Amino acid sequence: MGMTPLYFDNNATAPLRPEASAAIHKAMGAPANPSSVHSFGRTARLTVEAARESVALLAGSRAADVVFTSGGTESNNLALAGFAHIVTSAIEHDSVRACAVSASVINVTSDGVIDLEHARAVLAGLPDEQRPSTILSVMAANNETGVIQPVAELVALARENNIAVHSDMVQLLAKDHFSFAALDLDYASLSAHKIGGPAGVGAVLVKPGNALQSLLRGGGQEQGRRSGTENFIGIAGFGAAASAAFGDVAHYEAMSKWRDQFEDMMLAHVPDAHVFGQQVPRLGNTSCLAIAGKSAETMVMALDIAGAAISAGSACSSGKVKTSHVLAAMGAGDLAGQAVRISGGWQTKKTDFERLADVFLGLYKR
C-alpha cells in the first residue's frame, strides 16, 4: 500500500518535465503576442525564437524550418494537405490515415516493419503524371509496437521515384538519433507532449524551399505557413522540453535493456505470452505484449487496480478500445485483441520496470 502508481503509458502522453513546467509558469506572467511591436511583444518573440532553436537542435533541422502547430495531428494534416495522392504504410497514425483519401498502402512484415520491396513496387507503379502531386508518408517509429522504420531507405526510394516524402517523427523524437537535414526529408511532424512538453503544441519541419498548404486562413503568422496567434505558453513549454530532452537517447538505450529483461521475465513465466517486434530494432521504451486468451481491456483494468497504468495495444479515444489496425496489418489475428502496450518515458527508472514485472507476475504467472 502507499506505493505511487507506475506510469507506463508515455507513448500516449509523457508527464510534463519540470523544466517545461517552469517555462510555462514564466510564460504565463505577461501579455505575450509575439507579433506585437512593443516591448512585451518583442520579449515574447525572443522566447518563441529560442524555443524554435531548441526544437531545431533536437530535430537536426534549421530553426527556419520549424513551423509551430497545435501538435502531431495538425502537423501530419498540414504536411500532407498540398498533395492529391498519398503513398503510406498500413501502420500509420490515424492523423495520417485520415488524410489519405486517395492512397496507396504499403504492407508491413509480421514484425511490423514497412516492407521495402512492396514500397519499391508501389512507387514504381505510380503513373508519371501523378508523381508531382504525390507524397510518401512513413512514420519513423510506431506508437503501438515501438518498431523503428527504414526511413532512410524509404527517402531514397521516394527520390528515385521523384516524389516528396514526409515522416511522422512524433514517437521517435528524443528517443533515437534523428536529423531532419541528414535524412533529407521534405516534411516531418513533431509533438511536444510525447517528450515531456505540454499537449496541444507541436511542429512541422519543412525543407527549405518546400511549400506548405495552409489549413488555417488568417493573419499569416509563422511566415505565412500557419495562421493564428502563436500558442506562446505551449511553445515556451515545448522549447524547454526539447532542451531538457537533449540527452535522452542514452537514457532510452539503457531503458531498452530494462525493457528486454522485463520481456524475458514475461516470456519465461507467463504462459502463452508473445512480444511483438522483438526481433527487429525498436524504441527502447516500448513493449507490445499479448497473453493469449486474456483480453487487453481486462488486463489494462487488472493492472490499473494493481497500481500500473498501461494501455491496450492501440490508444483509445473516448475510452473505447478498437482493434488495432497496426497489429491487424502485422497479421496478429486474435492476438491483436490481447495486446497491451507498455511505454516508459524520460522519468522511468530501472526499478519501475522491475516493479512492473512483479505486478504482471503477481497476476499472470503460471
Catalytic residue set = 316
Q: Does 341 bind ligand PLP (CB under 6 A)?
A: no
Query: Segment near ligand PLP (CB under 6 A), from 40-48, 66-74, 209-217, 277-285?
Result: 66-74
Q: Which of residues 11-50 bind ligand PLP (CB under 6 A)?
A: none
Q: Does 311 bind ligand PLP (CB under 6 A)?
A: no
Sequence letter at residue 282: R
Q: Which of 93, 175, 225, 282 binds ligand PLP (CB under 6 A)?
A: 93
Q: Which of 95, 149, 338, 348 binds ligand PLP (CB under 6 A)?
A: 95
Q: Does 231 bind ligand PLP (CB under 6 A)?
A: no
Q: For residue 199, give every residue at least 6 positions away whose Cβ sits within 8 Å of its Cβ, in sequence order, or none.
A: 13, 71, 192, 193
Cell of 176: 533515437
- Cα–Cα dist 332/341, whole Å: 14
Pairing of strands 311-312, 339-343: antiparallel
Task: Give least dist CB 194 to ligand PLP, A.
Answer: 7
Q: Does 137 bind ligand PLP (CB under 6 A)?
A: no
How far are the Cα atoms of 6, 144, 267, 273, 366 from residue 360, in angstroms, in the given order? 12, 19, 11, 11, 11
Strand ranges, E, within the chain: 6-7, 66-69, 85-89, 103-106, 134-137, 164-168, 187-191, 202-206, 273-275, 286-291, 308-309, 311-312, 339-343
Residue with smaller CB distance to ligand PLP, 47 or 73: 73
Q: Which of 34, 112, 198, 202 binds ligand PLP (CB under 6 A)?
A: 202
Residue with smaller CB distance to ligand PLP, 32 or 173: 173
- Cα–Cα dist 95/341, whole Å: 20
Task: Give least dist CB 162 to ligand PLP, A.
Answer: 26
Task: List beta partners, residue 107.
Answer: none
Q: Does 89 bind ligand PLP (CB under 6 A)?
A: no
Q: Give how far the C-alpha of residue 145 lies from the chain's centroid of Cα atoms, to the nearest Å.
A: 11
Q: Does 77 bind ligand PLP (CB under 6 A)?
A: no
Site string for ligand PLP, 141-180 (x = CB under 6 A): --x------------------------x-xx---------
How many other CB atoms are there within 10 angstroms of residue 12's CB atom? 17
Task: List beta partners, residue 309.
Answer: 7
Q: Which of 58, 139, 185, 204 binds ligand PLP (CB under 6 A)?
A: 139
Q: Which of 10, 54, 73, 149 binds ligand PLP (CB under 6 A)?
A: 73
- Residues in the site for ligand PLP, rule: CB under 6 A? 71-73, 76, 93, 95, 139, 143, 168, 170-171, 191, 193, 202, 315
